Structure 1
Amino acid sequence: MRAMDTTGDERIGVAPLGTVRVRGTVEAVGAGRLLVRTEGLVEVHDREEFLAGTADRAIAALRTSDEDRVTATADGGFVVAGADSVRALGSDGGTRWVLPHDPWHGASRAHSAPAVGPDGRLVSVVVPVLEPDKAKAALVYDGEPGRNYTWDDLLLLDAASGEVVGRQQIRSLASAAVQSWSPDGAAVVVSCWTAWQSWSTWWAQPCAEGMRMLGGTWMHALAGFLPGSRVLTQRFAEYLFPADDRDELAVYDLGSGEQTALLDLAELAVDPEEDEFSSAEVLDARHVLVPGRVHPEGGAPQTRHWLLDADTLRPLGRLDYPAPVGEDITVLGDGTWLTREGDDRLHRWRLGSAGSPQAGTR
């Protein structure tokens, strides 16, 4: 049954701020910097120089292998998760520390990138844990006979030394994990996808004893942070269980664990059974961006972006772009965002009327 194509259909103008040609993926990493990933290479660039097409060279760069998951530190270094260790590198490429751990299950590569706290003092990382006693192993995992795992550990590490300062077992056997710190550094949120159990998400707080678990939720993955110690999460229709067929957004208070807002994304859909919503991004203190792929009756699939109220998740309207956009959105943290056209063109936008001054294109 098709939904009426009316909710959130009011058009909202956007202003173009420039276009740049780029290979690879781009991620905002704070302090006016971008992380640019291409095959075998991670680079850190000044955001404005890179998007203006005037960046002569990277601020920092690191050659990587297929097994590595990498994040940058504020001082020009990197933290690298590999198949069986986490290591920190200085801006000169030298190794600061290495923390070995049990090898990841199912693949010879890391399943999760580390996350560095806003003040640079702590690093969070998810690691696997082998269990010698099969009776104590997590029964969900039987992919490698003779190698038993129990539930993963969430670690807090001292960024300078690699010392484990906090450890909590989380109920996941993650094939994929995403994690991020709240902007004030008061909490770290981690989401893990476990086969046949969907996403599970927890939030924890550094404390004198190391780490204290504050709360969590199931079947929702981390999407971003909102003012007032709130976390935005997204649920995907995975069809793992009866009636598991809805895409939705929810906001939780990190202190109380209370759900404070909820949106069934079917409200934005043209065809709820076919339309897909791949992500949600916090644009600023007042707005959330949601890209989706919808299927108008009798027409070709279309990519659309909606703007939501950050407090209530109420749809405000659909963004009216003057250029083609895809489903990928990169929010830059200053009220602007990037969309991709084709394989190598990034457009930068802000909310407002069309016709604003546009930078040159490289």
Structure 2
Amino acid sequence: MITSAVTARLVATFTAPLDRERDAAYAPSVLRWPDRRLLIQRGDVEAVAVGLDDGAVPRTRFPAPWPRRFGTFTVAPGGELAVFSGVHAVRAVDPAGVVRWEVRHGCWEGGCRVLHESYEEYADDKAHLYADSGSAVFSADGSLVWAHVRGPVASAGPDPEALDEWLVIDAADGRVLGRADAETVAAGSEHVPHPDPAQMGLSVGEGQDGAPLLWGRWDGVELSVEQFGEQERILTSVSPTGEYFLTVAHDLDSLALHRVADGEVVAELHAEDAVPRHPDADPDDCEADEVMWDYECGFLDRETAITSTDQEEEFGPVRHWLLETAGMRPAGQIAYPFPVCGTPTALGDGTWYTVSRDGDALHVWTPDNPRVSD
């Protein structure tokens, strides 16, 4: 059981480049690669990327091809290209709004079998407003885009039986270099990059049906895909060295450390064994007895991970935890100098960030010297 505390020291605060209300924007987040970090934010009409490292990427704005509700987006490590993963296509756009390339695919709205040519075809259809979604991300060196799409890609023609596909795309010109049947029926997905550009993790959400975890390897000719975790574990982070990855169980009761080589579980930590009941919860509230991990768990560095416990704001302040990845042992509860909300996101360089309650700022933290709680 976690009984010690670790003080968090504020490293930096970054103001969100877009106004949440004026620009109809999501809260900011951070993309990270081995040699750089980008703060990104998505509004309805534009997306913004800002380099967080000295002499890195300047603030860059990208005109958005469709409103934020219709998919996700990512940015190249150099900040020169944004890729929007939408309902009907994966589209690469430069800061001037020029479409560098586009890969069209099946529609993410479950009942639609049309291979759309543009967003305008379904812009006013309410069903498409609540379509499922895929995702895309750049490889560690920026040379590839890995994209999870609804099958089939446009060149294959409509196929009512097509499942989701996983693509490896040339980031320079949009050529589909490799493709594989993901064998998933996604409501949403998230890529988790590996330091090796030829490897990628993919966590797929299928609602109550499960959470397939896919691992892809690209050898320059063929994309090979493995499934780990028997569709019950959600991939959350890859270690800075690339040797291990972290998962949380679909029911949030345990965290696990896996080997990348074969997906095998090296160590596991159950919430009920590590986390005490929230101290501010009503003693008669039975729901507070069931502690669960959150969906965020990441490598702070090669030896330490950070996570939080789920659904606790109704009891009191959200609680964040440090873990020793060797053996998945509890290391301490994080004590902040001012209240924070939401989940912590690890950056892999010994720091993590939290987003302000209003979504207008991002705070970067590092652990100070640990102390034993009273």
TM over 0.5, yes or no?
A: yes
Q: RMSD over aligned Cα, in angstroms?
A: 2.9
* Mapped partners of 1:325, 1:100: distance in 2: 41
Q: How far does the alpha carbon of each residue in 1:178-204 deviate from its partner, in whole angstroms, 9 at most, with x for none?
A: 112201224111111124321010101
Question: Could you tell me which residue of structure 2 aligns to residue 262 of structure 1?
Answer: 268
Instruction: State how 1:283-362 maps to structure 2 within 5 Å.
Output: 283-293=300-310, 300-343=315-358, 344-353=360-369
Question: Could you tell me which residue of structure 2 aligns to residue 122 of structure 1?
Answer: 144
- Partners of 1:287 and 1:309 within 8 A in 2: yes
**Mean CA deviation greater in 12-21 or 194-203:** 12-21
Instruction: State how 1:68-87 maps to structure 2 within 5 Å.
Output: 68-75=71-78, 76-87=80-91
Question: Could you tell me which residue of structure 2 aligns to residue 11 of structure 1?
Answer: 5
Residue 230 of structure 1: which of 244, 254, 261 is its match?
244
Gaps of 5+ in 1: 1-6, 50-54, 132-146, 238-245, 355-362
Q: How far does the alpha carbon of each residue in 1:152-184 deviate from its partner, in whole angstroms, 9 at most, with x for none?
A: 111111112222211111221000111122012
For the structure 1 residues 277 and 74, does the alpha-carbon distance in structure 2 shift closer, same or farther, using more than 3 Å as the test? closer
Question: Could you tell me which residue of structure 1 aligns to residue 233 of structure 2?
Answer: 220
| Matched positions, count | 319
For the structure 1 residues 309 and 225, does the alpha-carbon distance in structure 2 shift closer, same or farther, using more than 3 Å as the test? same
For residue 328 of structure 1, report the CA deviation from its aligned partner: 2.6
For residue 313 of structure 1, report the CA deviation from its aligned partner: 1.6
For the structure 1 residues 182 and 273, does the alpha-carbon distance in structure 2 shift closer, same or farther, using more than 3 Å as the test? same
> Which structure has more RCO (C-alpha within 8 Å, separation ≥ 6)?
1
* Mapped partners of 1:263, 1:129: distance in 2: 37
Question: Could you tell me which residue of structure 2 aligns to residue 25 of structure 1?
Answer: 27
Question: Could you tell me which residue of structure 1 aligns to residue 115 of structure 2?
Answer: none
- 1:90 has 2:94 as partner: yes
For residue 323 of structure 1, report the CA deviation from its aligned partner: 0.7
For residue 329 of structure 1, report the CA deviation from its aligned partner: 2.1
For the structure 1 residues 294 and 96, does the alpha-carbon distance in structure 2 shift closer, same or farther, using more than 3 Å as the test? closer
For the structure 1 residues 85 and 295, does the alpha-carbon distance in structure 2 shift closer, same or farther, using more than 3 Å as the test? closer
For the structure 1 residues 203 and 272, does the alpha-carbon distance in structure 2 shift closer, same or farther, using more than 3 Å as the test? farther
Question: Could you tell me which residue of structure 2 aligns to residue 112 of structure 1?
Answer: 134
Structure 1-normalised TM-score? 0.79
Question: Could you tell me which residue of structure 2 aligns to residue 280 of structure 1?
Answer: 297
Paired residue type of 2:38: R
Paired residue type of 2:51: D
For residue 275 of structure 1, report the CA deviation from its aligned partner: 4.8
Q: Percent identity?
A: 24
Q: How far does the alpha carbon of each residue in 1:220-262 deviate from its partner, in whole angstroms, 9 at most, with x for none?
A: 111011134211111132xxxxxxxx52111221212221121
For residue 83 of structure 1, report the CA deviation from its aligned partner: 1.4
* Mapped partners of 2:261, 2:226: distance in 1: 7
Secondary structure (helix, strand or coil) at the match of 1:196 reads: helix
For residue 130 of structure 1, report the CA deviation from its aligned partner: 6.1
Paired residue type of 2:304: H
- Partners of 1:292 and 1:327 within 8 A in 2: no
- Partners of 1:275 and 1:295 within 8 A in 2: no
